[in-house]
A and B are shown apart, each in its own frame.
Chain A
Amino acid sequence: MKLDFEKPITKIEEKIEELKKMSEESGMDLSKEIEVFEQQSHEYKKELYENLKPSQKLQIARHPNRPNFIDYIHLITTDFVEMHGDREGTDDRAIIGGVAKIGDTPVMLVGTVKGKSTKENLVYNFGMPQPEGYRKALRLFEHANRFGLPIVTLIDTPGAYPGIKAEEHGQGIAIAVNLKEMAKLEVPVIAVITGEGCSGGALGLAVANKVLVLEHAYYTVISPEGCASILWRDASKAAEAAEALKITGPDLLKYNIIDGIVKEPLGGAHYDYEAMGDELKKEILKALNEYKNKTPQELKKDRYNKFRRMGVFNS
């Protein structure tokens, strides 16, 4: 599926295909011309993808073919063993986790899952966890803490689920408890926003020593649509809201919300799963290596200080 703003590329690519076909049919050597066109096409793409507006990045972050957590499990880990359930009656499928190896390092891997089809989304609830999902995640974090396993979370969620059961079971409290308990962990925690990082639903897995964001992912307090409908009283102003909320990597870096941006293949993660997986794995291993020699107390303090500094005010 091509996005609106990608249409010019499609045209150039069609031209190149035409030329190739012509060259084959007529026997003429057009390789020089094709090469020039391909070079131009590449540069055009680079220019396009490096200067995307926030609302366009949003479309890539939400692309239906974007790799999801299940893909990343295959792409970056080996020996994944899933651990199910919150031990209180539920196994929320919107959050999945377990032990696995990234490179040679055993880790606790937890992430939110978005489905790629309606059928899958019925299972994963569009990546919107219930309180039980956060409680399962916390159970796994505490397991990791007990056995000294570093924690890696991959986050791609439009937010925690807003529903009747969710409220009855304490959605807010479940997230809040995670924030508080993650502050106490004595193992390294690396969080990566891989697509949508929306609101408390994302933060509930992201009180980490290092927070990374994929190049076209976003991280925000409220979805641009939600923000537009509250502040502009008009959901169609989402593009303006996306701009105003400063939700993309470079802005987040500027305000010290995140610690780094993970480069995506040209056009976005969905164009090259393998390349995306390799890059992400490299960055996670780099981050894990940074914390390898820290003591449990140092890790906890490092995380506390990181969040303690956040905020901008006058005094």
Chain B
Amino acid sequence: MTLKDWFETRKEEQHAARPIDPKIDDYIGKLWVKCFNCNAQLPRKELEHHMMVCPECGYHFRINARTRIRQLFDEGTFQEYFENIAPSDPLDFVDTESYTERQQKAKEKTNLNDAVVTGTGKVEGEEIACAIMDFEYMGGSMGSVVGEKVTRIMELAIEKRLPVVTITASGGARMQESALSLMQMAKTSCAVARLNDEKILYINILTDPTYGGVTASFGTIGDIIIAEQGARIGFAGRRVIEQTIRQKLPADFQTAEYLMKHGQLDMICKRSELKETLAKILRLHKH
């Protein structure tokens, strides 16, 4: 490694080192926001104008499903489906808090019934069926509701002959539903198998963070996989791996850039280029 390469790698690693638990848009400053990465003080308005990307260092703030929809779809074209599907508590699960209490709190925080919003809408005029996950709702975890809504939007896409796009942000399966949530991995993947049979284009957009049960099911079996710049993506969590192998992991481990280097992604996109890129891909598959 030449000295220049070394500096280059070091810069990359520093750039890639992200705070472990950055908060999501509604829960950072109302007027001024401090960048999690470069500590720059930014007026909230300016940050919003830059699609919640730090204009100083390019750090992509995590955003919730509603913001994502506003950014991605042509104005007024998004039509939500299946919004009334809501979670129950089949196992009467209680840890330090009951599952129903956690649902209640998450609902108050996000104004959502569960961790995914599904619907149809237009991207530069191209109509798609889409599932957008919300990390703010119980860490974007996948339980029965997420599994059902993702499956239904794919079934709707088959009916309407629309391409499908999923935008994931998830810590993985929802433990409070145990094996039922595990089965959502199978259910959603079976639905993707149908998309394949029907030759319907299926695109994954992976955002920060996408882990566990979502990475190991519908989240990564698209015909094209796009990751948002700087997103962390993996199967096992960093801590679990560190404990298993008893080694420190490289700072850029599991970043989109790292996975790209290992051939796991088709491309990395800046948030500002996402809409344009998606529309281009959609048009190229229409003939």
Is the beta-carbon distance between B186 and A313 smaller than 8 angstroms? Answer: no
Q: Bound state CA distance, A311 and B183, in angstroms?
A: 7
How far is A175 from B196 in the complex, measured between Cα atoms in Å? 17
- Among A162, A180, A226, A231, the residue within 8 A (CB) of B235 is A162
Proximity string of chain B (76-100) to chain A, C-beta cutoff 8 Å, 1 when within and 0 when not: 0000000011111011011110000
Report if B241 contacts A (CB, 8 A): yes
B148 and A180 contacting across the interface, CB-CB below 8 Å: no
Do B236 and A183 have beta carbons less than 8 Å apart? no
Set B177, B191, B196, B241: member contacting A164, Cβ < 8 A:
B241
Question: A310 interface residue, CB < 8 Å from B?
Answer: yes
Q: A164-B253, A176-B218, A257-B180 are in contact. Are A231 and B185 (CB under 8 A)?
A: no
A34 on interface, CB distance cutoff 8 Å: no
- Residue B145 is within 8 A (CB to CB) of chain A in the complex: yes
Is A11 an interface residue, CB under 8 A from the partner?
no
A16 within 8 A of B: no
- State which of B84, B91, B174, B217 has its C-beta within 8 Å of the C-beta of A176: B217
Instruction: Indicate whether A183 sits within 8 Å of B234 (C-beta atoms), given known contacts A200-B213, A307-B187, A311-B183.
Output: no
Indicate which residue in B175, B183, B192, B240 contacts A310 across the interface (CB closer than 8 Å).
B183
User: Is the C-beta of B147 less than 8 angstroms from some C-beta in chain A?
Assistant: yes
Over the window 217-254 of chain B, the binary record of Cβ atoms lying under 8 Å from chain A Cβ atoms (1 yes, 0 no) is: 11111000000000000111100110011010100011
Contact A179 B189 (CB under 8 A): yes
Q: Does B173 contact A (CB under 8 A)?
A: yes
Within the complex, the shortest CB–CB distance from B264 to chain A, in Å, comes to 5
Q: How far is the CB of A285 from chain B (nearest CB, A)?
A: 25
- The smallest C-beta distance from B3 to any residue of chain A, in angstroms, reads 26
B148 A221 Cβ-Cβ under 8 A:
no
**Cβ B151 vs Cβ A220 within 8 A:** no
Q: Report the separation of the CA atoms of residues A312 and B235 in the bound assembly, to the nearest whole angstrom.
A: 25
Q: In the complex, which residues of chain A have a beta carbon less than 8 angstroms from the beta carbon of B91?
A: 244-246, 255
With known contacts A167-B236, A172-B235, A221–B262 Cβ distance under 8 A: no
Q: How far is the CB of A101 from chain B (nearest CB, A)?
A: 29
Question: What interface size band does chain B fall in?
Answer: 35 or more
Query: How many residues of chain A are within 8 Å of chain B by beta carbon?
Result: 56
Q: Is B179 located at the chain interface by the 8 A CB criterion?
A: yes
Assess the B96–A231 pair: CB atoms within 8 A. yes
Does B17 interact with chain A (Cβ within 8 Å)?
A: no
The interface residues of chain B lying within 8 Å CB-to-CB of A226 are 240
Q: Identify which of residues 125-170 in chain A touch chain B, using a CB-to-CB cut-off of 8 Å.
A: 160-164, 166-170
Residue numbers in A under 8 Å from B249 (CB-CB)? 164
Q: Give A193-247 interface residues, CB cut-off 8 Å to B.
A: 199-200, 203-204, 206-207, 219-222, 226-227, 230-233, 240-241, 244-247
Contact across chains for A179 and B185 when beta carbons are under 8 A apart = yes
A245 contact set on B, CB distance < 8 A: 91, 175, 178-179
With a CB–CB cut-off of 8 A, which chain A residues contact B118? none
Cβ-neighbour of B90 out of A207, A220, A233, A312 (below 8 A): A312
| A162 engages B244 (CB within 8 Å) | yes
* Residues from chain B with Cβ under 8 Å of A169 in the complex: 262
Cβ of A275 within 8 Å of any chain B Cβ, yes or no, is no
A172's partner among B86, B179, B234 (CB-CB below 8 A) is: B234
Which residues from chain A contact B120 at a C-beta distance below 8 Å?
none
Q: In the complex, what distance in Å separates the CA atom of A170 from the CA atom of B184?
A: 20
Most chain A Cβ neighbours within 10 Å, of B86, B183, B185: B183
Which of A167, A204, A240, A247 sits near B178, CB closer than 8 Å? A247
Contact A310 B262 (CB under 8 A): no
- Indicate if the CB atoms of B245 and A164 lie closer than 8 Å: yes
Please give the distance in Å from B143's CB to the nearest CB on chain A. Answer: 8
Residues of B within 8 A of A311 (CB): 143-145, 147-148, 180, 183-184, 187
Q: Does B38 contact A (CB under 8 A)?
A: no
CA distance A252 to B177 in the complex (A): 12
* Chain A to chain B contacts (Cβ below 8 Å), 28 pairs: A162-B244, A164-B241, A164-B247, A164-B253, A166-B236, A167-B241, A171-B236, A175-B235, A176-B219, A176-B220, A179-B189, A200-B213, A220-B178, A220-B179, A221-B173, A221-B181, A227-B175, A240-B95, A245-B175, A246-B179, A247-B178, A307-B187, A307-B190, A308-B151, A308-B187, A311-B148, A313-B144, A315-B85
Given pairs A164-B253, A308-B191, 14 additional interface contacts (CB within 8 A): A162-B237, A164-B247, A167-B254, A171-B235, A175-B235, A176-B217, A180-B189, A200-B185, A220-B179, A233-B96, A241-B95, A246-B91, A246-B178, A252-B179
Q: Chain A interface (Cβ within 8 Å of chain B)?
A: 160-164, 166-173, 175-177, 179-181, 183-184, 199-200, 203-204, 206-207, 219-222, 226-227, 230-233, 240-241, 244-247, 252, 255, 257, 303-304, 307-308, 310-315
9 interchain residue pairs of minimum CB distance:
A162-B236, A172-B215, A311-B144, A179-B189, A172-B235, A183-B193, A231-B95, A312-B90, A310-B183
Interface residues of B (CB under 8 A from A): 84-88, 90-91, 93-96, 143-145, 147-148, 151, 173-175, 177-187, 189-194, 196-197, 212-213, 215-221, 234-237, 240-241, 244-245, 247, 249, 253-254, 258-259, 262, 264
